[in-house]
Homo-oligomer: A and B are copies of this chain.
Amino acid sequence: MLLHPDRLFPADPATRAIARDLYRTVEHLPIVSPHGHTDPRWWGENPAFANPAELFVIPDHYVVRMLVSQGVPYEALGIGENAESDPRVIWRTFARHYHLFRGTPSRLWLDHAFSEVFGLDERLCEDNAEHHYDVIAERLADPAYRPRALFDRFGIEVIATTDGALDDLAHHQAVRASGWQGRIVPTYRPDGVVDPDTDGFRRNVEQLGMLTGCDIGTWEGYLAAHRARRDFFRSMGATATDHGHPTPRTADLGQAEAHALYQRVLKGALTRGDAELFRAQMLTEMARMSVEDGLVMQLHAGSMRSHNAGVLKRYGRDRGFDIPVATNFTEALQPLLNAVGMDPRLTLILFTLDESVYARELAPLAGVYPSLRLGPPWWFHDSFEGIRRYREATTETAGFFNTAGFNDDTRALCSIPARHDVSRRADCAYLAELVTSHRLDEAEAHELSPLLAGELARRAYRL
């Protein structure tokens, strides 16, 4: 049996029984997925997935990084020039190394997908690699395994994609036009027109001007162009923006200073620190726009992208080489929070890869600012231990109601139910421990578990 019904529940039998009871009531609740990276094309065009390697190996940076760490070349995983092109060969490499994933969330997610989505009940290994490949490949040819069918089968209530500010949202348009009822909403992600360190930044800003008819030659025009794009995203169903910055630094410059900074940025005449200062200023501007238009703001900070220059050059971005760094929020967010942090119209959801800030900074901040919500454990940390550490470190100071529910943050479609299941189980385990230690009544735990499983995300993201 690949999936034990009691997985992730506490060892103590009395506590396990409580966790089981709690889980039973949330197990089948609809999935609310307010932050993710599924390909909008899946929803717009509903294509079949090409083969098992394209579905489970090549695009999954968790899988790829683990194999690379143990000496498997990118080429053997179908990545790079002269890469292996036979998906069956790639699959075999993956299967041969499947033991590497022991103890990792990837193992839980993959086993869940193999078992629940493809009906495979034996753990993947070298010996059954061909059989697994054949079964998955056969099913992928079946319309029941196309994206929209899986969306329905997974019980997804709503899923948000993440889309560049310049995106035409054509796939979202296609969904609307198709008559299919799945709720797919875009998210306004302006990094490419906000971060002067982005490749092609200047070109992007010019395109922003063309798309909106705003005069991006001026600071006011540039801000107006953002407003126009946000309006367009809202018209397509967006309820949130997303900001992926190296640091959470914010700034609140005077008009003249901001204007001058923008001119330097636009002309590529940056002095040291200008790029970070511009990103910092733009977070505050985005927060001001959120006060006006009601889009919920998300801040993801603390990752050093593409750590290895050679890998970036040869294999590109998102190949497993984004590595977290120490992150400080208390000082960094002060300018933004002084500007609009007490405004009841703003919701700003904070994500970190540096767990030491949970208890030290994020819970104290989210536990007092009405605009702040604590995002769920992110990236490396939306795992069983990651969720446990998150709850244990944040609940005592921020409570449950200042957290923003769970989100799966994934581009791996088949892992979505698995991830929400891990989150629901981990939260039920945590609640059960509060009950056993008499920090919570059982009735209270039953009220909280569906909130954590979806309702808090609905509220935080205004879905």
Contact = CB atoms under 8 A, between A and B. Distances in A.
A224 to B, nearest CB: 27
A399 interface: yes
Nearest to A329: B323
Interface string A343-369: 010000000011110011101111111
A343 B419 CA distance: 34
A401 B105 CA distance: 15
B439 A108 contact: yes
A324 interface: yes
Contacts of A356: 326, 354-356, 360
Contact of A392 (B307, B334, B385): B385
Contact of A370 (B68, B366, B401, B448): B68
A365 to B, nearest CB: 6
Nearest to A386: B396
A324 B330 CA distance: 7
A326 to B, nearest CB: 6
Nearest to A65: B368
A103 B330 contact: no
Nearest to A429: B437
B437 A9 contact: yes
A150 interface: no
A129 interface: no
20 contacts: A4-B438, A7-B438, A8-B438, A8-B439, A11-B14, A65-B367, A66-B368, A68-B368, A103-B395, A103-B434, A103-B439, A104-B396, A104-B399, A307-B330, A308-B341, A320-B367, A323-B330, A324-B361, A326-B356, A383-B396
Interface in A328-345: 328, 330-331, 334, 337-338, 341-342, 344
B393 A380 contact: no
Contact of A360 (B353, B400, B402): B353
A101 interface: yes
A70 B384 contact: no
A433 interface: yes
A436 B11 contact: yes
Given A10-B11, A66-B399, A325 B438 contact: no
| This protein's copies in its complex | 3
Given A360-B355, A439-B384, A69 B396 contact: no
Contacts of A392: 385
Interface string A1-41: 00010111111101100000000000000000000000000
Interface in A424-456: 433-434, 436-441, 444, 447-448
A384 B15 CA distance: 18
A232 interface: no
Given A69-B402, A383-B396, A384-B437, 8 more contacts: A4-B438, A66-B368, A68-B368, A69-B370, A308-B337, A308-B341, A310-B342, A325-B361
Contact of A320 (B65, B368, B381): B368
Interface of A: 4, 6-12, 14-15, 65-66, 68-71, 99-105, 107-108, 123, 304, 307-311, 320-321, 323-326, 328, 330-331, 334, 337-338, 341-342, 344, 353-356, 359-361, 363-370, 372, 380-381, 383-386, 392-393, 395-402, 433-434, 436-441, 444, 447-448
A325 B320 contact: no
Contact of A365 (B310, B323, B364, B398): B323
Contacts of A401: 70, 99-100
Contacts of A7: 437-439
Given A102-B448, A307-B334, A309-B338, A396 B402 contact: no
Contacts of A385: 392-393, 395-396
B325 A325 contact: no
Given A324-B330, A433-B11, A439-B384, A400 B102 contact: yes
B400 A370 contact: no
B395 A104 contact: yes
A98 to B, nearest CB: 11
A79 B102 CA distance: 49
A186 B356 CA distance: 35
Contacts of A338: 308-310
